[in-house]
Amino acid sequence: MNRKQFLEMLRKQHGYAGKADLAEVKAFVNDPENGFNFVDAKGKALDLDAIWAKTVTVAISADNGEDVEVSQSEGSEVNPGASNSSEQPPTHAASLASRGKSVGANAGIHFPKVNYSLLKSKKYNQAAARGETAFSDADIAADFGTFVKKIFDGGNKLAGKAQTLGTTTAGGHTVPTEVFSDLISNRANVGVLRKLAKYYQIPRDKANIPTRTGGLTVYAPGEASAITASDMTFGVCAFDAALMATLTAVSVELMHDSVLDIGAVIGDEINHAFAAKEDEIAFAPVGTGTTFGMVSIPRAIYNQVVSASGTWTTDAHKLYHPGVTIAAGNAWSEITLANLISVPGKLPDYAHDGAAWVVSQAFWGQVMLPLALTAAGTVASEVINGVKVPMFLGYPVFRTSKMPTAEANSQICALFGNFSRTVGLADVKEGMSIDIDYSLYFNLAAVAIRGMQRSSIVPFDVGTANATPASQVASPMCALATLNA
């Protein structure tokens, strides 16, 4: 074994990154922490001094035709770390061999000045050795440059057939497609309910939260007269959590080879799916009875009208509910600014702090925004720049695709009120989890990823409907409904 072979072995197999210096190599080899014990084929310890003493002399012919003679120890790295000045010779063994020049043994030792072209070649080859160049050495790079110059006429016209990227057989197959570790994810806006609802964490699937439905009555009994007794009244918000779950299989190859962090991507998608389902449960239209056994806010208003012996498709019966405003028509284009102004007017005073609109983006863009822009008082900066949180009549507007996105008869197209006083969202403690199983799809070489969530959504106060206005009880929630026809 010579010096070059030993150094290559140390660098490739044992991670040596030092200089080609005998003392430094000995220190690395003899370090007890590395635990090396190098022996030859007969089991005898290697003699580093003998390996370092082996030499060979070579001679090369320079690019400009001038003979340049070089002598160096075999496998050595001459002047490692020296500056690339014109006084330093090109002596890296790999560089000399790659240049394909003649080699002669026992040549004399002579180091002339190196011309600029050789200096550039040396620097290129050093970069090539680090994997930083498109070609393996300077000669190949120069030859390719000459080839490119020849196929161009005048520097801007092709003189023959071209190898092109656009045609796969003409070169396109050699160019890999870059895939970035980023994901373009166009998804619906979700999570509106969690921003607005009253949140609870419950210890198990069933839990009751008391609600106040009525207070005490004040009387003026008069002197020496008995005071009339009165009582508070209570209701209950009864949570009954449903188990919601997702399951997906991911191949082992995709988990290992994808540029994306597939586990994180799927975890994010699971959270998005649960948030979308929560919004769907809370804002489902009046025609949806239940979702996972849970009632939406529009359906709860509908149920109040029906419980008061009303028919929802009869427009006059919609007014059995004290929070419902009827639009001027069944089409969105017929909805007026006066219709929308009437909605907050039906909200009790205690519910205005924290009140907000919830509509779809379509309703916001087709109805609310045009009416706002045509009304007096809209500042130009808002028209041009917009606002971070859309506002209408002084209240924030939250948009979700789970509210109606197209007009329909007898439709609750807009909700307005204090949602934290209207609807509760409860999660079972430690009920949300994302788990991985390697056995379910074992025969498919895939991993099963399961998401689970135990939650309950309850509209606990949407008011009380009654055919007699005096018997109606307002709530923190109001709605705009279109006509039936």
Residue 464 belongs to domain with CATH number: 3.30.2400.10
Establish if 459 belongs to a structural domain: yes
CA distance 215 to 232: 4
Domain count of the chain?
2
Among 127, 145, 163, the domain-final residue is 145
Instruction: Please tell me the distance from the alpha carbon of residue 396 to that of residue 387, in angstroms, as a whole number.
Output: 11
Q: Which helix (H) or strand (E) holds 398?
A: strand 395-399
Alpha-carbon span 323 to 95, nearest angstrom = 86
Q: Which of 145, 171, 206 is the last residue of a domain?
A: 145
If asked whether residues 137 and 261 sit together in one domain, one would say no
Query: Is 163 a member of any domain?
Result: no
* Residue range 107-132, pLDDT digits in tens: 333 334 444 455 567 777 777 776 66
Same domain as 218, residue 125: no
The verdict on 92 and 210 lying in the same domain is: no
pLDDT of residue 121: 72
Q: Is residue 162 part of a domain?
A: no
| Residue 367 three-state SS | helix
Check residue 351 and report its DSSP letter. Answer: G
In the prediction, which pLDDT does 287 show? 95
- Co-location of 141 and 209 in the same domain: no
Residue 348: what pLDDT? 96
Q: Are strands 446-459 and 395-399 parallel, antiparallel or unpaired?
A: unpaired
Which residues of the chain register pLDDT less than 70?
1, 34-35, 40-43, 54-120, 130-136, 141-188, 259, 376-388
The per-residue pLDDT for 64 is 45
User: What's the angle, vertex CA 9, arms to CA 98 and CA 4, rounded to 5?
Assistant: 45
Burial degree of 42 (CB within 10 A; 0-12, 13-18, 19+) = exposed
Domain identity same for 382 and 439: yes
User: Which structure tokens are listed for 27?
Assistant: 């220190």
pLDDT tens digits for range 62-86: 444 444 444 444 444 443 333 333 3
For 111, the domain range is 3-145
